[in-house]
Chains A and B, each alone.
Chain A
Amino acid sequence: MRFLKWLVAVVVLACLAYVVFAWAWGVPSVEERATLTDTESIAQGQYLVTAGDCGSCHSPPGMAAMAGGLPVATPFGTIYSTNITPAKSGIAGMTSAEFYQNLAYGADNILHPLYPAMVYTSYHVVTRDDSDRMHAYFMSLPPVENDPPQTRLGFPFNIRPAMFGWNLLFASRAAFAPDTSKDDVWNRGAYLVQGLGHCGSCHTPRNALGAEENGKWLAGAQLDGMLAPDITATGLRARGWSYDQLVSYLATGSGPRGSAYGEMSLVIDNSLALMTPEDRVAIATYLLDGQTGAPASSTAARTAIAGSALDTTASEGRSLYLGNCALCHKASGGGIPNAVPSISGNATVLQADGRNLVAVTADGLAASQVVPGTGVVALGPMPAFRDRLTAEQITTLSNYVRATFGNGEVGDLTEDEVKAILAGQ
């Protein structure tokens, strides 16, 4: 009896303690500032919103822009993006302070914090001034009354305040800290990549509780069956990326290292291609850690001679390649500029685990959208071979491609590895 009382007391105290913690720590108070209304701030805000690629989640295809409703599947359930237009069903009346609290801390009140699908885990790097400009832009938009479905996760994740605990463990709140040993360009890149660009949300592996793993920043992560590759300076250069190639890739989504596909093509279309050349240069500078020389890999050299130095001895792999791939990608692997990505020297081919190569071969790719006037290269559709080739043939084909165009930097895949990828594991 007494023991029970103690237990109840402990639980109550624990809850009280958490409430106190949530109240005290959950939503840092920030200075109230008047909403900016000048056109310059609004224009700057629009650019920052583009840099933050808010649209890819808050403007679902075929639906109203910024009005939310995109279902985001997570291991914990489906999260729906919210309406961020100044509508009653959106963010009408949200002050610049509340906006910054959501952007940086993922909550503007202790009862209803956001889930980290909203990447406040990165956006905390954004300065308050930039946040105010983004706020100004959103407030300048026409209100769109659209009520997206409510996010309903299973217990215990449906207890939103529990997120403060998650935040305490995993969500940094540190403001951007420039590295004084680097130049302004590098630091601008760091600000964009760590903050608005939120590159880490895809390219950094996550732990069991869905948080980005410490010490593996940008080291590559698996996202629904595909690999968001290692984009650390070392990783990029190992796959042959040169500075120039990376800069033009960020603008066009294409180049000698291959093309953007899957989620990344959205990022190019909706964000990177619309940024200033200076900012793309800054991003490339930061990602390659200021190394602008030729890559360590011999791949670049290999690309130049592709077509003349190919091993043309007949093999089943070569037959499969010539029959199924060469009509677009060429026997040389060189592809067709602005239409078909090059296989020779393609960074995807140089991914050691072969996941993306096999997945794309199996399931194909939709044609990219054509946006006249932007520099984005709109590539044609890639057919799916899952139903045309056996796992054994896909293995043979993949290994031919890796051996021929991966210039010995990636070894063979086993049929079991390929089968696992085909099974989406």
Chain B
Amino acid sequence: MMGKGPIWTRRRLLIGAASAGMATVIAPYMSSAAGSPDTIMPDGPGWTAGGTIKYRIDGFAKVTGAKIYARDLRGRDMDGWPEETHHAMLLFASDAQHAFDGLDLSMLGESGQPDRIVLAEDLAAAGLAAEGFFASNLLCAQGAIPDYLGQPVAMLIYADFGRFTVARTALTGEARAVKRGAAGPVRSTNPYGAGRYTRVASQSPMGPDVFSVMLAGDVEPTGYDGEHLPIWSTADANGDAGAKAAFHGAEIRKSLADGTVGKTYRQSFLTQSIDPMFMEPEGGIAWFDAASGKLSVVIGVQSPDLSLSGISGMAKNATDGFKLTEVDGTFMFMGGSFGGKDHTIIPLYVALAGMFGGGKTVRLALNRFEQFQFGLKRHSFRIDSQLGVDPQTGKFTAFTCDLNADGGGLKNLSSPIASLAAVGSASAWYTPQSDVTTVVSQSIAVAAGSMRGFGSLESMIGMEVLVDQVASDLGRDPIKLRRDNALQSGWLTLVGNTPNGAVRTGDVLDALEKSALWANRAADKAVYEADNPGFSYGVGVSCVMQTYGSGVDGSMGSVALAADGTIGASSGITEMGTGVGTAVAARIADHLGHPATTVQTLTSGLWDALQLEPEKDPWGISQADQEKAAQNPRWTLVGTVDTTASNGAAFGTHAPGIAAWVILRCGLWPAAKSIWSEGSFGGQSAGDFVTFADLRWVDGKLTARGMTPLTLEELAARAHRDGLVTGAMTHASNRWDWATAEFNVDGDSFEVAIDALAVQRGGRATWDLLDRANAKFPSTAAKGVGRNSWALLSRSEVNVPPVSTERVGAGYFSCSGTVVAVGVDRISGETRVLGVHQAIECGRALVPDIIRGMVEGGIVMGIGQALTEYLPLYEDGPGDGTWNLNSYRVPVSADIPVDHITVDILAPLGPTDSPKGLGELSMIPVIPGVLNAIHDAVGARVLSLPATPQKIKEAL
């Protein structure tokens, strides 16, 4: 059927995309690679006219329906791929209590049968199996009890799209296709992780602490009992870290029990499982050339390297015909993600479709039922907290929190998510004593993984509701109570670590207090209740500080200034909709006076020029080994970067920004000097001592100490003419601090926060790789990172990317607070959100319009989780394959106050503030804000999400 009739191919838009390949694992090094969507779309004409950004760089492509998502591509769109595209679908187990007893595809009739059926036995025969992070049974074997609800049991491949789509429709929600055998034991294993985070402060909140995770190292249970419950060390003041934690923890819990730390507030809170519900279901295309062993895939994920290494890992022990020599990844824009496409296992199935595709291009793209059934979910948490408060001062004296999460059927990122839940459990508030435990359990639920908020969202909701409870019980103003307890700059968090930079919780609280929604709440209440009999008006407040960055983050950037003054930039990060490409363009304007003309995200082979030799074990490496390795000028702490942990603005734009700075320093500055010194006696510059530090961009022109302002065009022309630096490619490494190094360009030596640099000189296309000097990498001990502090965890967490440890050492934080107004029907409990105001602190806002849009989106998503979104975990949940948007209610415009959502982006402390992460942050305070507003309105304290009318009625 394919190829018959006129096909409106858009291949011309894809020239070059297929060369965007990378060799991975098999090759000696990992380089970054991707389809570079900006090369396959016309970026909007004049999008940066006048030197200012008028809209998203990808806006034009998205609004015209250009091919930018993995789902858009077929073989015919890819250069060098087989045009003929076959289509694959997965069948899933909707029952995890009975054996998988084979398939019954009779309902498809003779003509509807697949051309290829791939079963677990076929994977075994081919020697294909998931390993490392993804280790699990990719397909449930016939006769075995499925490991979890929604586990794939088979892959069907059709050569003909027509038969495929008919079969797809017939099989949707068709329970009979996957036969159930005899009942058997439900899978039950030890938890995916557990930890204890105990801290006892000394007199000073700045430390040194008496005891903390940062000082003693991470604490895990000594083992698990028959019920898979953690066994904690017995208390011993002089024992090992675990015993000490148990000792201090017991003391803290005793003091809360006997009231010696003031009044004790207790709360048990439940957060629900939800689906990220990104609009583009996961999928992609793959092509396997058995002759060469090259596997090519086109996917859209947040973690490109992990997808490629996971795919190549499957073939570690592959038999002939399935051995891989190269995995070529093309990474497209994501149609939404919110964490759900981070560390996802689905690309492995896309790869399998290709490997069993008989040399054709094969497309595997989930439909929405399948995405609900198999896509990563947000963890459901039970949170039991105790907060000690001095009733006189309102100061928090002690805090305990026991976090129990359901990780579902795959380990995925459960362990680091639980760790970050612990880190966030005190929200933005300081307590001198705290004891937090986490357990994230295995179950047969659909696998839970990364989602916007990554654990701390859940624990912060509990804390923000508990703080509101304290405020109402003590009759204190909820903003003032928070201000009185805010963790201050330089103070230690509950893991005993200092946040980088100034903590601006106080500024955010001030902004909330000034907001109209808060200041006018009494008057608004009177007016609303007069106009809406039966409804009570309430206002809730919430404020959190959330970490961003993953603890080992890379950043790559390339900037090339053409002779005509146009700027081409690249960043080594994928675009999931947050606008990082546009942010890169904006950050370049800091140094070149103009935003980049074009930006490519995760550009192809380009980075080869840096000849990076990234550390294989950045989390485990010792200080000594690191110092030795750093002697090699090609060694870096980390290679490419995932799109994760709200790192777009802070990390994704860092290296491109420095690349632009290098061009200013080594290209434009000498060019300007040469222009300003034209003529006799040193020209106009003779009259003053002009230094690099004097340079300023004014109205798009470069000037200094009264020198004639120069246009970028003039400067670019001169730099190209004189063979000065017109292009720079940079790599940077971050471990809660940037690696720095010195570079010498044509005799000019400078220190910058990058660890690799290559430059392009005017008129030449080649990159000259420079050696660095005096490289300084953040100490492995800094922020408790590294083998010494984390031995226990890194040893025991082989299957979890050790970011789990890094997240505990979190160093970067940003803060936001929300005021929510609701109207609640006192009889039915029906709740209407009437207005939301968010004050957010994100350092220097690179593209304020994009930030506002992202925050507005976080507010809407928060309203959804607060009021309507809900997934049962087990048999009646999404794993049964019948869930879709009819039963899972995400907000539509009628559910939100479209005209009453306001965002206050706090001004930076100064012009040199770095941008901070905020993507996850913006969603978090909205949820407790809604719950606290409901309490303010009708006095109902809802402690389980979502806050349905039924629950509100019961709480009344």
Contact = CB atoms under 8 A, between A and B. Distances in A.
Query: Do A and B touch directly, given a CB cutoff of 8 Å in the complex?
Result: yes
A339 B884 contact: yes
Contact of B950 (A146, A308, A371): A371
A144 B826 CA distance: 9
Contacts of A327: 169
Contact of B107 (A64, A142, A308): A308
Given A142-B826, A331-B169, A337 B870 contact: no
Interface SS of B by simple majority: loop
Interface string B517-547: 0000000000000001111000000000000
B868 A334 contact: no
Given A308-B107, A330-B169, A372-B946, A338 B887 contact: yes
Question: Which of A59, A65, A308, A374 gathers the greatest number of chain B CB atoms within 10 Å?
Answer: A65
Contacts of A85: 534, 827
A142 B868 CA distance: 26
B474 interface: no
A336 B172 contact: yes
A144 B533 contact: yes
A374 to B, nearest CB: 7
Nearest to B169: A327
Contacts of B535: 64
Given A85-B827, A331-B170, A338-B883, A370 B533 contact: no
A142 B869 CA distance: 29
Interface string A57-96: 0010001111100000000000000000100000000000
Contact of A336 (B107, B828, B882, B948): B882
Given A330-B169, A332-B107, A373-B950, A65 B827 contact: yes
A372 B870 contact: yes
Nearest to B108: A307
Contacts of B532: 64
Interface stretch (A116-124, A168-176, A343-351, A375-383): A375-383
A55 interface: yes
Contacts of A338: 173, 880, 882-883, 886-887
A15 interface: no
Interface in A318-338: 326-327, 330-332, 334-338
Nearest to A87: B533
A334 B174 contact: yes
A127 to B, nearest CB: 25
A8 interface: no
Interface in A27-81: 55, 59, 63-67
A378 B825 CA distance: 23
A335 B175 CA distance: 12
Contacts of B886: 338-339, 367-368, 370, 378-381
A307 B830 CA distance: 42
A379 B888 CA distance: 10
Given A308-B106, A327-B169, A331-B170, A65 B887 contact: no
Contacts of A340: 173
A66 B827 contact: yes
Given A64-B533, A64-B827, A373-B950, A332 B170 contact: yes
A327 B172 CA distance: 10
A146 B887 CA distance: 34
Contacts of B883: 338-339
B946 A55 contact: no
A373 B948 CA distance: 8
A9 interface: no
A381 B892 CA distance: 15
Interface in B35-91: none
Given A146-B533, A307-B107, A339 B827 contact: no
A326 B169 contact: yes
Nearest to A66: B827
Nearest to B882: A338
A330 to B, nearest CB: 6
B889 interface: yes
A66 B828 CA distance: 9
Contact of A55 (B828, B869, B889, B948): B828
A145 interface: yes
Given A66-B827, A331-B170, A373-B870, A145 B533 contact: yes
Interface string B832-869: 00000000000000000000000000000000000011
Interface string B945-956: 010111100000
Interface in A99-157: 141-142, 144-146
Contact of B534 (A63, A312, A335, A379): A63
Contacts of B887: 338-339, 370, 377-378
A177 to B, nearest CB: 34
Contacts of B884: 336, 339, 380
A326 B166 CA distance: 10
Interface string A374-402: 10011111000000000000000000000
A307 B826 CA distance: 49
A145 B883 CA distance: 41
A387 B237 CA distance: 79
Nearest to B884: A339
A331 B165 CA distance: 12
A253 to B, nearest CB: 12
Contact of A59 (B369, B828, B870, B946): B828
Nearest to A63: B534
Given A336-B172, A338-B887, A339-B887, A65 B825 contact: yes
Contacts of B106: 308
A177 B175 CA distance: 46
A332 B175 CA distance: 14
A380 B368 CA distance: 13
A145 B529 CA distance: 11
In the A-B complex, the 4 residue pairs with the closest CB atoms: A64-B534, A372-B870, A336-B173, A380-B886
Given A373-B870, A380-B884, 20 more contacts: A64-B534, A65-B825, A65-B826, A65-B830, A67-B533, A67-B534, A85-B534, A85-B827, A141-B827, A144-B826, A145-B533, A146-B534, A308-B107, A331-B169, A335-B173, A339-B886, A372-B946, A373-B951, A374-B950, A381-B886
25 contacts: A59-B827, A64-B534, A67-B533, A67-B534, A85-B827, A142-B826, A142-B827, A144-B827, A307-B107, A327-B169, A336-B369, A337-B175, A337-B882, A338-B880, A338-B887, A339-B886, A340-B173, A367-B886, A370-B868, A370-B886, A370-B887, A373-B870, A373-B948, A373-B950, A378-B886
